[in-house]
Structure 1
C-alpha cells in the first residue's frame, strides 16, 4: 500500500541527507514500522495459549532485519541451506527454525540435522525414506487439492508442486510414526498476498479438522498447526488492508472450540514474510534521463534487478516523487531502468508529477521480495540496503554489489575431466 504516513514522516524529511551520504539507488527499511506490525500480529493471537510467528526469511534475508524479528520472539522459516545458515548465524537453533524445503537433497537433510537441528517440514511422502534419521518432531506440508481454491499468485492447489496430497496424508504420519517420530505438526500454505482474512480462517479450520481425522486413525496428538504465510498487503491505493484483528478473533474461536472438544490445544504457527516486511521498505532511486518518443520515459538509476515484481507479475508499486505532489502539473510516463529488457519497468503509463533529471523517486512496498529476488542479468549489480532505526540513525546493513563480487565466481582452481 502507499507507505504509511508515520514512515513518510520518519523518512522523507531526511531523504536529501541520506541520498547525499549514501548515493542512490538503495532499499531502506523502517524499524519502527516492522516492530509495530509484529506487535499487532502478536496481539491479534494473544488469546491462543501458544502462538509463534516464523518469519519467512525468503522475503527479506537481511541479518539486521532478521535480528529485529528475533528480538520480537519470532522464529525463522527457512527454505534453503543458505537461509538456515543465516538463521543460525543469529543464534537460532532447534525448534526456533522451521525448514520447509521441497525437492530436498541429501545435502539439505544433512544441513537441517546439523547444529541442534530444526523442525523438519516434509513436502512429500517419498522424503520419509530419504531422511537419514527420523527426528522426534516431524511435520508435513499438506496440499488439499481441489478441496480448496488458491489465489492468483499460487494458483490452484491441485496444480501446485507443493505438499502431501489428501489421500497420502494419513499414511505419511503412519510411516513417520513407524520410523520413530513421536511429536507432530501439520502445515499448509495455499495462498500468497491474500487480503481476505476469512481465507486464513478457513485454512485454520481445515487443518484442525484434519488433525481430528488423523488422531482418529492413528491416535496421535498434534503440537502445532502452521497455517503458512500469505498474509497480504494492499499495494494499490484505496484497497483495505487485511483485518488482522478479525482474523485473530475468529481463529482463536476455532482453537477454543477445538480445546473444548479434545481437551488440549495445539500451538498456532504462521510464517509471514511479506506482511512483516513488505510495507516497511522502499526503493529510493534518482531520475537520470528523460526520453520522449511515442511515450515519455523516465529513466532511473535502479532497474528490475533491484525490484522485479512489476516485470514478473505486472505488480503495482506506488511511486512518490520527493518534494512534488502534482500541484505544479502531472504527466503520464513509464518509469524504466537500464536493463536490455523491455519489461524493465517500475511503472507503465502512470500519472506522476512532472519529473526532471535529479529528482528522487520513492518506489514503495519493496520490503519483501525486492532485494531478495535480485539478479545479475546484464552484469547489473544489486543496490545497498539501509535500516532506518528507531534511535534516529540510518545505517548500512548491506553494501552495494561491486564488480569484484560479480567476478568472484570466476576465480577457482582449475578442474578438468579428461574423457
Structure 2
C-alpha cells in the first residue's frame, strides 16, 4: 500500500512538472510571435517606467497651441506640369479678351472720328488700364495708324499688340526666387515667401496652388499657416499640403500669434533643408493700421531665421481700381516683390495687369484662371496679349 501511494505521488509530480514546462514553452512561443508581428519589444518594469517618464517630459515641453508640424497624408496627387497648364489655360485666358476685341472693332472702322477715339478711351478705362496708361496707349495708336496709313484689321491688330506688349513690359523679371542658400552662419536657408492681401482675394488657395506649382518643379516645400484668425484657414492649408505631400506648420489655437507660426515655419524649413517656405497670412484691410503693423512684425520675425526672398500680394482682378489703393499700402509696409492676380478668367478687366505694374513698379508673376487645383500659372506677357486679341 505505501508503495502504491509513493508511485501515485511520483506520477502526480511528473505530470504537474510536464504541464508546467509545456505551458512555459507555449508562453515563450506566444511572446516571440507577438514581437515578430508587431516589432514592439517586451519592456521590463524599469524600462516601461523610463519610457513613460520620457513621454511626460516631451508633453510638458510642448505647450498646447504651440505651432506644430503636420505631416502629409500617404496618398498623393501628381500636380500638372507648368508647361502643360500654360497650354491648357491659354484658351481660358482668351475669355479676358473683351478689351482687345472692342479696340480692334473700333480701330478697323477706317478713318476714326473723335467719337471713335473717345470710345477707345472709355474701353481702356473700363478695362482698368488706368488713366496714364490709357493716354499713353491712345497717343501711340493715333501716331502709328497715321504713320502706316492703313486701316487693314491685320495691321491694326499688330500695332495694338506691339503697344499693349510694351505697356506690360516683357523685360520684367517674373521668376519666383525659389533657390535656397547658405547663411552667414554656414547653415541652410530656404527661400522664404510671404503671401499678403486683403480679405477674400484667395490667399490661402493661392498658396496651396503655388505649392503644387513648386512640387511640379521638383522643389521641396514647407507651408506656414500664419492666418490664425480664420478658423478654417489652417485646415484648408493642411488639406492642400496633404494632396501633394507638403508639410504644414500650424497652431490649433484660434487667434494664436501669427508671427510665432511664421517663425516656426521658417525654422522647420531650415531643419528639413527645404527649398521653399510659403507663409500664409490673415486678410487685412489696408486702412487698419494695427493689422498692417502686425504684418510688418511677421516679416521681421521670419527674417530672424532666413531672409524673406519674396513678398507676393494677391489681388482679385475683379476689384479693379480698389486694388490700387490696397497695393500701395501693402507695398509700403512689407515691400512687395510680385503680384498674383486671381479670378482673371472671364473678366473684362484684364487691363489691371498694366495698371498694377505701373503703380507699384513690380511685375505680375502669377495669374489665377479658375477654380481647379492647377489653375494657377506663371504670367506670360505675350500669351496674355495674344489671348486678349484672339
Q: TM-score surpassing 0.5? A: no
- Scaled by the length of structure 1, what TM-score is found? 0.30
- Scaled by the length of structure 2, what TM-score is found? 0.32
* Structure 1 or 2: more helix by fraction: 2
* Structure 1 or 2: more strand by fraction: 1
Higher relative contact order (CA 8 A, sep 6+): 2
